[in-house]
Amino acid sequence: MAAPLVFILNGPNLNMLGVREPHLYGTDTLADLDAFCAAEAEKLGLAVDCRQSNHEGDLVDWIQESHGRAAAILLNAAAYARTSMAIQSAVRAVSTPVLEIHITNIYTKESYRPRSLLSFVAVGIISGFGFDSYRIGLQAARGMIDAEPQG
């Protein structure tokens, strides 16, 4: 039997990991994050499909693609988490459970930033643990998959 598939979707500017504000995001790259997620998923008996785009529509398309295909989504929509009604609507439209993931603690950012729109539709939010946010997300996804009724 094939391992359950988890989409790991990363939004704008995450392609700049390792360069962008290393004091906040560290020096590891997006390729490092993808390798980290693949290794963690393998330990949990999961398969991952890691993708990144700076374009909102790509994220919407990938969320829609998950419907009936992926067991869960780890979604780091970055700034789009706070601004995108389209991404929020896409999450509402699919049966795939979505976990909102952030490398940094989004609740300690500037007060002018709006609240996450994804928080209204995500199963849960994991924020502030660096790359470990993804590991925790994969563990949560595994738990949700195992809790689903079989057959």
Q: Which of 25, 55, 112, 134 is catalytic?
A: 25
Nearest Cα neighbor of 117 from 104, 133, 131, 100 is 100
CB 87 within 8 A of CB 56: yes
Q: Which of 55, 80, 102, 107 is catalytic?
A: 102
Task: Give the integer Cα–Cα distance in Å for 69 and 49.
Answer: 11
The two structure tokens encoding residue 57: 């529509």
Quick check: is 25 catalytic?
Answer: yes
Quick check: is 102 catalytic?
Answer: yes
User: Catalytic residues, which ones?
Assistant: 25, 102
